[in-house]
């Protein structure tokens, strides 16, 4: 079956002109990666701050220096393309397969520090933010990648999750991709990001609370039961399934077209996947992305693709899964967050989950 064999991944680490780390990932034998970053870069920005909302307990990051980050430059000035023809970018090499580097304008950076207490709980924005470039081709998309290249990206996500999870003060690692100007993407080059948070994110904290309540009430794991129920439901929200993964539209989907992809074996994070699960993932994930692009007949559908990994405090109960969704609801309409959603976090979905699953099955090839 396609995607079941992969070449070893070569990993080459170097540094950029301002001291940020850059890592190249290549399939097969090691590639010479000795290009030097010759840009006269400014010093790295000041640290951000994290503040805790006393009313909700949620953490908010304040990173004012990000106002100066690069915003939708023309293709010839893209900072994620390789350095070629005298134009220097974040990638010193003249070509690459997958590259990961520390964000030049990070929301979080540096070691942990002391938190002030009381109603004004705050502290340094510790952690790390990285950029993951999926390909050197500026005009490509993740959906255009081969299965072997998608596997290389998975290997990079896995490697970085393991490394970032080991940093002092890091509680949760989040790998994600935003695609499309409609989503708010500032750089058109195909890329994603990784955040190493010094706290458990609000959505994950709510999941952990629900998992704990489910365990108390039933003695079982919430995510085991959730996946089993979706696979057995005769209303047809499963979009596609393989030997090791199932993709389904969730029962209470918040977004017009939203798909969750779960491994059948519950694991806490990407490093815990076995080889069979890693081998099957690229085929199913690329299939899902290509179905999203065929939904409206308009080309590339804007989306967010988010890996949910268990934080350090909840590894036994939370389950690794990927949530893929778009804000597009028809060919010419977007799902904007209205007052009830932005103001109260009470979502209203314009598309029934069962219809969304049917449409995603219909656009299979």
What residues act catalytically?
191
Spatial distance between the Cα atoms of 91 and 16, rounded to a whole number of angstroms: 8
With b for 16 or more beta-carbon neighbours within 10 A and e for fewer, the 72-90 pattern comes to: eeeeeebbbbbbeeeeebb
Which residues have CB under 8 Å from 55's CB, separation 6+? none
Strand bridging mode 245-248 / 191-197: unpaired
Rounded to whole angstroms, the Cα distance separating 284 from 280 reads: 7
What single string gives the DSSP state of each residue in 30-56? -----------PPPPPPP-EEEE-TTT
- Enumerate residues 6+ apart whose C-beta is below 8 A from 134: 98, 140, 142, 145, 149, 153, 190, 191, 192
For residue 3 the two structure tokens come to 């995607």
Length of the chain: 365
To 10 degrees, what angle do helices 147-165 and 275-294 make? 120
């Amino acid at each position: 079956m396609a995607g079941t064999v992969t070449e070893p991944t070569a990993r080459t680490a170097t540094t950029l002109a301002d001291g940020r780390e850059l890592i190249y990932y290549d399939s097969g034998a090691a590639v010479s990666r000795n290009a030097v970053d010759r840009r006269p870069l400014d010093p790295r920005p000041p640290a951000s701050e994290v503040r805790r909302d006393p009313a909700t307990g949620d953490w908010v990051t304040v990173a004012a220096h990000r106002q100066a980050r690069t915003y939708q430059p023309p293709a010839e000035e893209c900072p994620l393309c390789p350095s070629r023809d005298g134009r220097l970018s974040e990638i010193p090499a003249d070509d690459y397969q997958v590259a990961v580097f520390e964000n030049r304008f990070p929301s979080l950076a540096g070691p942990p520090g002391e938190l002030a207490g009381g109603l004004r709980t705050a502290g340094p924005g510790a952690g790390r933010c990285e950029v993951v470039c999926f390909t050197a081709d500026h005009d490509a998309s993740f959906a255009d990648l081969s299965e072997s290249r998608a596997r290389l990206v998975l290997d990079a996500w896995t490697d970085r999750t393991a490394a970032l999870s080991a940093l002092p003060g890091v509680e949760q690692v989040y790998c994600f991709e935003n695609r499309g100007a409609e989503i708010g993407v500032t750089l058109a080059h195909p890329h994603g990001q990784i955040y190493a948070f010094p706290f458990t994110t609000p959505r994950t904290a709510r999941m952990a609370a629900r998992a704990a309540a489910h365990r108390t009430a039933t003695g079982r794991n919430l995510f085991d039961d959730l996946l089993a129920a979706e696979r057995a439901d005769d209303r047809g929200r499963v979009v596609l399934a393989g030997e090791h993964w199932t993709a389904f539209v969730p029962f209470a989907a918040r977004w017009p077209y939203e798909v969750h992809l779960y491994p059948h074996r519950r694991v806490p994070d990407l490093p815990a996947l076995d080889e069979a699960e890693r081998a099957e993932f690229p085929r199913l994930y690329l299939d899902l992305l290509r179905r999203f692009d065929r939904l409206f007949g308009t080309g590339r559908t804007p989306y967010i693709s988010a890996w949910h990994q268990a934080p350090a405090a909840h590894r036994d109960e939370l389950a690794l899964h990927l949530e893929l969704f778009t804000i597009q609801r028809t060919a010419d309409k977007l799902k904007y967050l209205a007052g009830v959603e932005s103001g109260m976090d009470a979502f209203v979905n314009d598309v029934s989950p069962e219809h969304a699953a049917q449409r995603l099955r219909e656009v299979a090839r």
